[in-house]
A and B are shown apart, each in its own frame.
Chain A
């Protein structure tokens, strides 16, 4: 039997979602605010240093400002709890009599990841695009500590590549955050808990770090903090691996609990 499943309609729903675009705009405003504050602080030194520096300053270095506070919430809003929403409404029954369980889960995981990752991918790409109009000159490499931090070798090799790599990392963070929301909403059997808990986990990791001195930080902004000169590329990968394992465990437990709940 020919089947296209739900992925195509999911992607359409994501792109058409006002929440998706609102999250993108909020993300861009946060980065722009960083730039404005930054300009006030050290205007002369950096403002006319080219597109890449503008992007790095506002999205990477001072990305630990408002963006890091709100970023854990943005990727989960569009589609993070969609599996639980399907179950709670009973819509899942109409879907699962038309397609295999495994295919449904796989396609939902893909669309949840895309919805979460795309918030940052689109907002950062658009923001980067706007920076080109602000100051299109070549960006000289400025000494602000990045070369000695995580992925400093990439920065030293090419600022452009570094920016692309950073956007990819943040995109993956968005995808993981949304997947965690999916798992938590299933486990708690509540969409609002699913929306809030990933952000609480992210920030509690930061608080734990601040209190204990141990490095339990959910990526990306904390690991990238300019003040944390000890951050290494390996630490960033560990963070991602930890987050991925957490997502898988929570999702599997959540799916089992949701199936047992008799909502199918």
Chain B
């Protein structure tokens, strides 16, 4: 398969507001692609369309060649971090991830713990998610996207709230996943340095329209 993600004339309209305007985009397998854009430019809406969380007004979204969003279909073999990481506040990070991993049963407790350690979280920490710092919450969101070892990662501002050391660690993880396991990555970032360092190609999005940079 040539492309991991294919978008054809994807349009999203809510009332009179045009949030995504005829977006055509193909993300080739094995690439790291960056999308830059200001707040409210349509980045998160685009990622939601790719994840199947919203129903697009017009167009087609395909992930690994399969239609997404129609008939409630969700993308297979993909990990997502969209907007702020959301988890059940009264449960520990490990418990939250166990519930999510239980949906598809691809991995067990040990793999979850391994992923948590990889992103710099202590899986044995009993603290509830509500008491996590912003950085820890972000790391848990990243662990959630990585844990099932997907072939595609879609990460919306993954470096948000992370300290310098954690940012460096995440960059290294993403590069290794891409180079060693051929994982395709689509990401956004406010930090131009992240985009320059990590992404082979970059697109900008403004007022719901996307252009190659």
Contacts and interface: CB of A to CB of B under 8 A. Distances in A.
Genuine A/B complex: yes
> Which interface class (under 10, 10 to 19, 20 to 34, 35 or more) fits A?
20 to 34
A20 B149 CA distance: 36
B74 A94 contact: no
> Which interface class (under 10, 10 to 19, 20 to 34, 35 or more) fits B?
20 to 34
B207 to A, nearest CB: 18
B171 to A, nearest CB: 23
A5 B82 contact: no
A3 interface: yes
A264 interface: yes
Nearest to B68: A97
B72 A94 contact: no
Contacts of A85: 88
Contact of A101 (B72, B76, B89): B72
Given A1-B76, A100-B73, A94 B51 contact: no
B103 A6 contact: yes
B85 interface: yes
Nearest to B84: A90
Which of B76, B103, B104, B144 gathers the greatest number of chain A CB atoms within 10 Å?
Answer: B103
A85 B88 CA distance: 8
Nearest to A88: B86
B53 A8 contact: no
Given A2-B104, A101-B72, A9 B53 contact: no
B15 to A, nearest CB: 10
A9 B99 contact: yes
Q: Which 7 A-B pairs have the closest CB atoms?
A: A90-B86, A101-B72, A100-B72, A98-B103, A89-B86, A97-B80, A9-B99
